[in-house]
Chains A and B, each alone.
Chain A
């Protein structure tokens, strides 16, 4: 079974803090994704990585950065957390031509 694991299920951070969300997949997938999901807005793509050290901006990259130093790990970084970044964050991985597999999600609250 493909496993995509996100480091935390729930996280509470203060405004201005630097926040790291980690995601690890165990199926050697080339492609990894970070999404945020808010009520009424669906899943919105923040960043996409198609290989180690390769990344592309998604629809809402502002306020975020990513790191992919190893194939299995894709990190989302909030340089200075703000309250409007309170959301559910979902990581996914996929191989070309196949479905994406999702982690369990991280519910981040910025206070």
Chain B
């Protein structure tokens, strides 16, 4: 089985940096995904971490620590369009992909 926890909501200011945490427990780690989902739309892929460390992709970075069962998504230079839900997901039992409850990020001017 697996258990994935994320904060429910976060608020940040335009131009700032925000870190969204995800902790997980899974039998047989096979990578961790981050997705972005705007209201009324389908989730879109942001990042995939398999090895420990930080992976940077423009304004977005994702960090993984397998020994701690912990990941975070770092968003820099926040823009209003970054207001969305951010979903952490972990595959288990091979490819069965399970999601956390998602973190709703509100960016304020």
> Which of B44, B45, B95, B101 makes the CB contact (< 8 A) with A42?
B101
Q: Mark A35-79, 1 if CB is under 8 A from B, else 0.
A: 100001111110010100000101100000000000000000000
Counting contact residues on chain B (CB < 8 A from A), the size range is 20 to 34
Asked if B48 CB lies within 8 Å of chain A CBs, one says yes
- In angstroms, Cα B87 to Cα A51, docked, is 26
Contact yes or no, B95 A50, CB < 8 A: yes
B93 — which chain A residues lie within 8 A by C-beta?
A: 56
Interface residues of B in 39-79 (CB under 8 A from A): 41-45, 48
- In angstroms, Cα B87 to Cα A41, docked, is 12
Counting contact residues on chain A (CB < 8 A from B), the size range is 20 to 34
B42 — which chain A residues lie within 8 A by C-beta?
A: 90, 102-105
Asked if B24 CB lies within 8 Å of chain A CBs, one says no
Q: How near does chain B come to A57, taking the closest CB pair, in angstroms?
A: 10
- In angstroms, Cα B89 to Cα A58, docked, is 14
Contact yes or no, A33 B43, CB < 8 A: no
Across the two chains, which residue of chain A brings its CB closest to B30? A97
B109 — which chain A residues lie within 8 A by C-beta?
A: none
Contact yes or no, A31 B33, CB < 8 A: no
Q: How near does chain A come to B53, taking the closest CB pair, in angstroms?
A: 18
Interface residues of B in 1-36 (CB under 8 A from A): 8, 31, 33
- In angstroms, Cα B44 to Cα A105, docked, is 12
Contact yes or no, B33 A100, CB < 8 A: yes
Interface residues of A in 70-111 (CB under 8 A from B): 90, 92, 94, 96-105
Contact yes or no, B43 A43, CB < 8 A: yes
A33 — which chain B residues lie within 8 A by C-beta?
A: 97
- In angstroms, Cα B97 to Cα A32, docked, is 10
Contact yes or no, A42 B87, CB < 8 A: yes
A43 — which chain B residues lie within 8 A by C-beta?
A: 43, 87, 89, 99, 102
